[in-house]
């Protein structure tokens, strides 16, 4: 599937903060790159981007993106971009698109699942499908500036920004046949209207424009600083609620890590670097545990908990910046196991040096063993829970580190090791039973 992206406008409402709208960063990724990468996630294989304002800068960036990500991106310059009417930009690509294609706006962000669902639709010759949002009252896009759509029998009856009566909002996402170019040309010749909306309006007169209801899926027109901030907020909120998150991660750590990720996204730091920094913090916390007294113990616990929060940022940055990799997940897991071993050894040492009881060594050994076994059994257990989510109870590293933090805060190191040892080994036994009875 090919995709046409219209990105020729000046974007005056984002100025003077961002002088080149397509390159305005959204959580560390230029707007046009985020649009392209989202479409790639939905299955698009080749792109045609129509440029205009700041054409040299945008084209250079697109060439670099093509080389960096091996994505075929063709840029077409619209030398009439300042005449108004995004339909003129669409017409510049007419010679390149003689089959069905996805049409997107260069300043609209959307959920990849939305695009995937849209691309599942079949087009008859001469048809156009407009993705519409019927949730008019709850849309995060500014409704005053949005293009409205009046629907009748599943087709567009009327479309425009100034409709008094309407059923939905135009999301700026279209599944098109080359007929769209004919509609724009007719709109220009008969009504002197060079907008894409004008072309859609012309085609709707003969019933050629169908609608696709996006349901509750996310989309937004990033047209001003307020919309940009809203878009970032939604993208960050989507990082929460991972199935593999335990209760501490879900209800505490993610609230903090997503805020931290918003800040980290501005910098060229990689997910693997974040994983390694989190590991180093755990080593530092272990060094504090090896010291004597409550103060070093307390600061060690605080640093360990902060490392646990930071450990959530590596995956968040990876998803926000499209840097997810199998190696990155594996590398993070390896460092986590080392970090857990060091932290629990440090606590064991602290407990033994405090009271020199054999119970400290036994509790520490069982805590380390149970922690490693919980991690070892996670893959099979989590895979089973995908098909049986109602049985999913996630007891893992987030709880373990939080117990270490609480134990340090309350100065109850031995009892912390005992609780971790019991909880982790009991969870391992429970997983063995669950996996055996549901194989």
The pLDDT value given to residue 418: 96
The per-residue pLDDT for range 354-363, each reduced to its tens digit, is 887 889 999 9
434, 378 in Cβ contact below 8 A? no
The pLDDT value given to residue 144: 84
User: Among residues 221, 267, 19, which one has the least CA distance to residue 109?
Assistant: 221
d(CA 101, CA 98): 9
The per-residue pLDDT for range 129-155, each reduced to its tens digit, is 999 999 988 888 888 889 999 999 999
Q: Going by C-beta distance under 8 Å and a sequence separation of 6 or more, which residues neighbour residue 14? A: 21, 24, 223, 224, 225, 228
- Facing residues of 7 across strands? 51
Residue with tokens 């993070």: 332
Query: What percent of the chain is predicted at pLDDT more than 90?
Result: 76
- At residue 6, the 3 state secondary structure works out as strand
What are the helix (H) ranges across 158-291? 179-191, 196-204, 225-237, 247-248, 254-264, 271-289
d(CA 179, CA 99): 10
Query: What percent of the chain is predicted at pLDDT more than 70?
Result: 96
The pLDDT value given to residue 85: 83
Residue 125, exposed/middle/buried by CB under 10 A (0-12, 13-18, 19+)?
Answer: exposed
What are the helix (H) ranges across 70-178? 86-91, 112-119
d(CA 305, CA 351): 19
* H and E: helices and strands count for the chain: 16, 13
Q: What is the CA radius of gyration of the chain?
A: 27
Mean pLDDT of all residues in 72-83: 91
Q: In Å, how far from its chain's centre is CA 400?
A: 27
27: left (phi over 0), alpha (psi -120 to 50) or beta: left
Q: How far are the Cα atoms of 3, 19, 29, 109, 179 from residue 209, in angstroms, in the given order?
A: 19, 35, 33, 22, 10
The pLDDT value given to residue 371: 93
Domains of the chain: 2-230 (3.90.550.10), 240-437 (1.20.120.1760)
The pLDDT value given to residue 384: 67
pLDDT exceeds cutoff 80 at 161: yes
pLDDT exceeds cutoff 90 at 63: yes
77, 69 in Cβ contact below 8 A? no
The per-residue pLDDT for range 247-284, each reduced to its tens digit, is 898 889 999 999 999 999 999 999 999 999 999 999 99
Mean pLDDT of all residues in 398-427: 95
User: Among residues 195, 152, 193, which one has the least CA distance to residue 172?
Assistant: 195
Token pair, residue 210, equals: 């169908």
pLDDT exceeds cutoff 80 at 243: no
pLDDT exceeds cutoff 70 at 226: yes
d(CA 401, CA 340): 8
Q: At what angle do helices 294-320 and 254-264 cross, to 10 degrees?
A: 60
Mean pLDDT of all residues in 330-353: 95
Give the number of C-alpha atoms closer than 13 A to the C-alpha of residue 169, restricted to the C-beta side: 21
pLDDT exceeds cutoff 80 at 436: no
Query: What sign results for the dihedral spanned by CA atoms 421, 327, 322, 385?
Result: negative
d(CA 204, CA 31): 31
- At residue 318, the 3 state secondary structure works out as helix
pLDDT exceeds cutoff 70 at 391: no
Confidence of residue 404 (pLDDT cuts 50, 70, 90): very high
Confidence of residue 170 (pLDDT cuts 50, 70, 90): very high
- At residue 29, the 3 state secondary structure works out as strand
- Facing residues of 77 across strands? 51
Residue with tokens 């616990």: 301
State phi, psi for 20 to the nearest 5 degrees: -125, 100
């Amino acid at each position: 599937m090919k995709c046409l992206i219209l990105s020729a406008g000046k974007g005056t409402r984002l100025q003077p903060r961002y002088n080149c709208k397509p390159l305005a960063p959204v959580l560390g990724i230029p707007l046009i790159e985020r649009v392209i990468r989202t479409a790639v996630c939905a299955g698009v294989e080749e792109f045609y981007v129509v440029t205009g304002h700041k054409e040299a800068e945008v084209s250079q960036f697109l060439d670099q993106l093509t080389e960096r990500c091996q994505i075929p991106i063709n840029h077409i310059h619209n030398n009439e971009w300042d005449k108004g009417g995004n339909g003129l930009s669409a017409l510049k690509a007419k010679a390149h698109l003689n089959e069905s294609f996805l049409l997107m706006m260069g300043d609209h962000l959307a959920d990849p699942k939305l695009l995937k669902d849209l691309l599942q639709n079949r087009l008859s010759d001469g048809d156009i499908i407009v993705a519409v949002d019927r949730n008019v009252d709850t849309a995060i896009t500014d409704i005053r500036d949005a293009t409205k759509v009046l629907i009748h029998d599943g087709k567009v009856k009327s479309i425009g920004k100034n409709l008094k009566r309407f059923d939905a909002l135009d999301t700026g996402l279209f599944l098109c046949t080359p007929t769209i170019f004919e509609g724009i040309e007719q709109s220009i010749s008969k009504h002197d209207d060079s907008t894409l909306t004008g072309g859609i309006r012309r085609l709707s007169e003969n019933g050629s424009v169908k609608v696709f209801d996006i349901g509750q899926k996310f989309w937004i027109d990033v047209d001003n600083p307020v919309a940009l901030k809203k878009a970032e907020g939604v993208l960050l909120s989507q990082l929460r609620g991972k199935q593999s998150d335990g209760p501490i991660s879900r209800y505490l750590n993610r609230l903090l890590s997503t805020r931290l990720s918003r800040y980290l996204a501005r910098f060229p730091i990689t997910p693997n670097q974040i994983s390694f920094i989190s590991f180093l913090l755990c080593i530092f916390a272990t060094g504090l545990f090896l010291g004597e007294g409550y103060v070093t113990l307390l600061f060690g616990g605080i640093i360990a908990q902060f490392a646990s929060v930071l450990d959530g940022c590596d995956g968040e940055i990876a998803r926000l910046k499209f840097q997810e990799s199998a190696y990155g997940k594996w590398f993070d897991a390896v460092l986590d196991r080392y970090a857990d071993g060091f932290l629990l050894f440090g606590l064991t040492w602290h407990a033994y040096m405090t009271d020199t009881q054999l119970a400290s060594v036994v509790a520490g050994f069982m805590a380390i063993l149970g922690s490693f076994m919980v991690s070892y059994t996670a893959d099979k257990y989590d895979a089973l829970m995908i098909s049986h989510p109602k049985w999913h109870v996630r007891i893992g590293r987030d709880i373990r580190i939080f117990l270490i933090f609480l134990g340090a805060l309350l100065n109850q190191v031995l009892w912390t090791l005992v609780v971790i040892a019991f909880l982790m080994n009991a969870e391992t036994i429970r997983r063995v039973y669950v996996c055996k009875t549901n194989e």
